[in-house]
Chains A and B, each alone.
Chain A
């Protein structure tokens, strides 16, 4: 079964850091570009970051640029999001989502179940 499983969420104080992970299974992870999308409580979806299959192309939303870093380890079938200088407005469920191809210009066909990040003192 093709699936994505996120982990690493939790409660963190403003200014703190957190590292999210996303494990892929049931497909050849190294062939797919990947993304992080977040959803604040009761709000809509917000794209956060994308990384191509070989990590050559990386993009960030302006709201996280300079604070978040996306990376991947194809040998471990894993995607990561290092989040630094966290703010209250970063509080959200964070989803990882797959692109069915190795390049970034495609829809997100598989989503994980999400991991909750709460930034509060």
Chain B
């Protein structure tokens, strides 16, 4: 699986949009971009995933650049409960491998 690079931390004000960047310059054509988050002492929570088109669900939006070398997770109206470590993961859907390779993630702190 391709490697991802995320800044170690960022913060944003409550109610504002949080834009979390991720670089995955070695991504291959069949690899998807996934985002998970982990709130302190809990198991990781799936947020969203995409291949090349932008995706949106009730939690967030995922914007993938045209060359697919980077992406941005957008939390449109961050709340204090969104404070967590966010992991960007690249994974292929082919074959039987469902392993998720977690990096260090980005720690998002939402301030009141």
Q: Is the A/B pair a real complex?
A: no
Which residues of chain B have a CB within 8 Å of any CB of chain A?
none
